[in-house]
C-alpha cells in the first residue's frame, strides 16, 4: 500500500498481449478500452499480460489496490475437469497469469472486477465451471460499431443492484461461454441473469459476503457506445473501493 493519499488507486488490468494477438492493432484498441474505463473512474491502470516478467508481476500484485480481469479467449476447461468443446479457444499462459493475479487479490483482500472472460475466470478460480458453448450470444466482431443486446434481470438485494440503482438492464451480447447457477463457484452469489432456451444464463456474480468486494459481469461495459449509462456507476464503485482499500491499508475493506 502507498502512503500518498492523493495518488489514484493502482488497478492491475490483465489483458491479452497485443504482440501475440492475431491482429495487434485491434488488441491494442480493445485493451485501451479497459484502461479508459479505469481512468474515467479515477484509477491508474497497470497493464500486465502473459509476456510480463515474473518479477514485474509479483511487484504489481504486491502494489495493486484493485484487480480488473478483462475479456478475451476461453479458459482452459481442464480447470473444471472437462475436455474442450470444438469452439473453445484457450490461452494457457494467460490462464496461469490471471489465476496468480486472482489468488494474490484474494490473499490480500483486494477488490476484483471481472468482465466477460474475467467474470468466468472468477467463477472457475472459485471452483465453478462453464457452459462451453451457448447459442445466440455473439455479436459482430470488434471494432464493429454495433452489437446485439439482450435483457438482464438484476437480483434484488445484490450489491450490483445497489450500485446500478436498477432491477433490469439491456446488455451487449459478446460471449459464447457462460455460467449457470448450478455451476457457481464457492462463495459466489448470482447478481444478474438473462433468459435462454436452454436455461437462464448468469449475467453477473458477486461475493456472497458483504465485506468482500468481488463483482463480475458477462457483458462488456468498457464498450460505452452500447452500454447503459448506469454501468459507469459500476466502474466508479470499483475504483472507489480500490481507493478505500489503499487508504485503509488493510485486508477485507468493505
Among residues 50, 98, 206, 222, the one annotated as catalytic is: 222
**And the C-alpha cell for 172?**
451487449
CA distance linking residue 42 with residue 243, whole number of Å = 9
Please confirm, yes or no, whether 222 is among the known catalytic residues.
yes
Among residues 137, 175, 176, 220, the one annotated as catalytic is: 220
State whether residue 45 is helix, strand or coil. strand
CA distance linking residue 241 with residue 223, whole number of Å = 22
Secondary structure string (H, E, C) spanning 124-187? HHCCCCCECCCCCCCCCCCCCCCCCEEEEEECCCCHHHHHHCCCEEEEECCCCCEECHHHCCCC
Among residues 91, 116, 176, 203, the one annotated as catalytic is: 116
Please confirm, yes or no, whether 63 is among the known catalytic residues.
no
Please confirm, yes or no, whether 116 is among the known catalytic residues.
yes
Residues 145, 42, 241, CA angle at the centre, nearest 5°?
A: 110
Residues paired with residue 47 on neighbouring β-strands, in sequence order: 13
Active site residues: 116, 220, 222
Amino acid at each position: 500500500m502507498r502512503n500518498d493519499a492523493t495518488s489514484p488507486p493502482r488497478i492491475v488490468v490483465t489483458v491479452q498481449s497485443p504482440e501475440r494477438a492475431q491482429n495487434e492493432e485491434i488488441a491494442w484498441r480493445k485493451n485501451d478500452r479497459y484502461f479508459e474505463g479505469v481512468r474515467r473512474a479515477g484509477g491508474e491502470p497497470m497493464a500486465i499480460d502473459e509476456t510480463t516478467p515474473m518479477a514485474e508481476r509479483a511487484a504489481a500484485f504486491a502494489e495493486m489496490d484493485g484487480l480488473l480481469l478483462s475479456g478475451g479467449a476461453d479458459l482452459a476447461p481442464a480447470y473444471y475437469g472437462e475436455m474442450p468443446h470444438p469452439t473453445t479457444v484457450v490461452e494457457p499462459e494467460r490462464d496461469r497469469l490471471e489465476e496468480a493475479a486472482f489468488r494474490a487479490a484474494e490473499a490480500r483482500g483486494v477488490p476484483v472486477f471481472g468482465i466477460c472472460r474475467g467474470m468466468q475466470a472468477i467463477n472457475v478460480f472459485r471452483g465453478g465451471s462453464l457452459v462451453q458453448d451457448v447459442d445466440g450470444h455473439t455479436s459482430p466482431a470488434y471494432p464493429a460499431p454495433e452489437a446485439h443486446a439482450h435483457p438482464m434481470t438484476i437480483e434484488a438485494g445484490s450489491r450490483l443492484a445497489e450500485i446500478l440503482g436498477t432491477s433490469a438492464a439491456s446488455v451487449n451480447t459478446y460471449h459464447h461461454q457462460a455460467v449457470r447457477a448450478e455451476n457457481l463457484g464457492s462463495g459466489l452469489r448470482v447478481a444478474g441473469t438473462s433468459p435462454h432456451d436452454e436455461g437462464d444464463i448468469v449475467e453477473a456474480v458477486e461475493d456472497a459476503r458483504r465485506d468482500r468486494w468481488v463483482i463480475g459481469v458477462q457483458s462488456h461495459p468498457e464498450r460505452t457506445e452500447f452500454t447503459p449509462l448506469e454501468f459507469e456507476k459500476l466502474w466508479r464503485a470499483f475504483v472507489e473501493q480500490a481507493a478505500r482499500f489503499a487508504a485503509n491499508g488493510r485486508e477485507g475493506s468493505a
